[in-house]
Amino acid sequence: MKIMNIDKLKTFVACGVIAMTLAFTAGCAKESSVDSSDMAKAFVEAWIKVNHPNANASGLGVYILEDTPGNGAPLTDNDLYVIADYTVTDLDGNISSTSYEKVSQQVGTFSEANYYGSDVFFLNRMYTTAGVIEMFDGMRVGGTRTALIPGWLNVNLDYKTAEEYQKKASGTNVIYTVNITDKTDDIIQWQINKLSKYVATNMAGVDSTKYGYYCRTLKQPTSDEKFSSDTTYYINYTGRLLNGHVFDTTIEDTAKVYKIYDASREYAPMVVHPASDSDYTTATISTTETEEGSTVVDGFAFCLSNLRPFEKVICAFYSELGYGYSGSAPSIPKFCPIVFEIEVVAEPE
């Protein structure tokens, strides 16, 4: 007799339980109506009964499947930001997203251009789903937890009770595995601390010339005069994260070395259209002098406003001068300080 694979057997049994549950609720429809939210809840409860019968549900209804306590500081109500590694799957175990490079390689979604590493979760239901926030409750730094987040909690909505979510919200059932690496109640100071360590090691400990901004000259200019607002000039640049991950460059060889080369892109110095004297953020860059320029993040623009002929600098700045809360997926995560090396070069022939 052929023995059924245990995973298929569990799925078969789960489907049977779910089918019976839904059949029962449908059979009761004559006496009381059954809507899709009740069916969704019945599905999740049946899945839990078969796959994790001992799983405990939180107050809102997140099911904790596995939990390894950490030895670090516990999360408190004051901690608005959790920094964590994660993997997200569906109920069949198919991975939809992950912060781990090796996992991404294993499932065939890896790209050299993407950022891999801990992500920042802002514990506000406008930015992070109610289920993920609930999942973190009671954890410590260093802890790992796997939880099933029902679809009605996998939403950016702010209701008070589990019943409100279950009746009013709809999303996709997911399973999160998270490992907390850090936490903070002040994401700005957290970034400044990271920048200070980077600057001390990589930029000879230069002082900040603007809050959250550091700059060091790598090659002296040929003149001390800054560029006037009516003068265009050319630059090469390379942008990277504090961990060394290169996310953009104008230099073809650099793109190839860091395996982010794009054959459809032209690698060449960019034209800088300097800012007005009163507002450095109005600086733009373009591929030709006649082309309309594109705006740049504030930290990059501030660096451009201080450049001198044929100078080369390295500047580092926090996300308030960069890509802010949202980052620039998939290469720049949320609340991420960034670094640019910028060099003024001769006009290409």
Q: What would the pLDDT profile of 321-332 be if each residue is shown by its tens digit?
A: 999 999 999 999
pLDDT at 255 over 90: yes
> What's residue 25's pLDDT?
42
Question: Is residue 308 a contact partner of residue 224, using CB atoms and an 8 Å limit?
Answer: yes
Range 124-162 burial, b when 16+ CB lie within 10 A, else e: ebeebbbbbbbbbeebebebbbbbbbbbbbbbebebeeb
Taking alpha carbons only, the member of 336, 270, 347, 348 closest to residue 304 is 270
pLDDT at 118 over 70: yes
Hey, which residues does 344 pair with through a beta bridge? 235
The predicted model gives 201-229 an average pLDDT of 96
DSSP code at position 269? P
Identify the weakest region by mean pLDDT among 12-16, 157-161, 215-219, 293-297.
12-16
The predicted model gives 107-129 an average pLDDT of 97
pLDDT class of 200 with cuts at 50, 70, 90: very high
> What's residue 276's pLDDT?
84
> What's residue 292's pLDDT?
85
Domain residue ranges of the chain, discontinuous segments joined by +: 1-51, 52-185, 188-345
Taking the model in full, what pTM does it have? 0.86
The predicted model gives 6-26 an average pLDDT of 44
294-303 long-range Cβ contacts below 8 angstroms, 24+ apart: 297/321, 297/322, 297/323, 298/322, 299/212, 299/213, 299/338, 299/340, 300/237, 300/340, 300/342, 301/275, 302/210, 302/213, 303/215, 303/340, 303/342
More confident site: 272 or 17 = 272
CATH 3.40.190.10 is the classification of domain 188-345 = no
Identify the weakest region by mean pLDDT among 28-32, 214-218, 235-239, 259-263.
28-32
DSSP code at position 312? E
269 preceded by cis ω (within 30°)? no
pLDDT class of 1 with cuts at 50, 70, 90: very low
Identify the weakest region by mean pLDDT among 24-28, 93-97, 130-134, 206-210.
24-28
More confident site: 22 or 104 = 104
Same fold, 52-185 and 188-345: yes
pLDDT class of 105 with cuts at 50, 70, 90: very high
Tokens found for residue 194 = 């990271």
DSSP code at position 276? B
> Rounded mean pLDDT of the chain?
91
Cβ within 8 Å of residue 268, ≥6 positions away: 250, 287, 348
> What's residue 17's pLDDT?
45
Question: Which H or E run contains 304?
Answer: helix 298-305
CATH 3.10.50.40 is the classification of domain 52-185 = yes
Give the integer Cα–Cα distance in Å for 118 and 141: 13
Cβ within 8 Å of residue 165, ≥6 positions away: 60, 61, 130, 152, 153, 155, 157, 159
One-letter identity of residue 261: Y
> What's residue 178's pLDDT?
98
pLDDT class of 33 with cuts at 50, 70, 90: low
Give the integer Cα–Cα distance in Å for 88 and 99: 9
Give the integer Cα–Cα distance in Å for 173 and 40: 9
> What's residue 34's pLDDT?
53
DSSP code at position 295? E
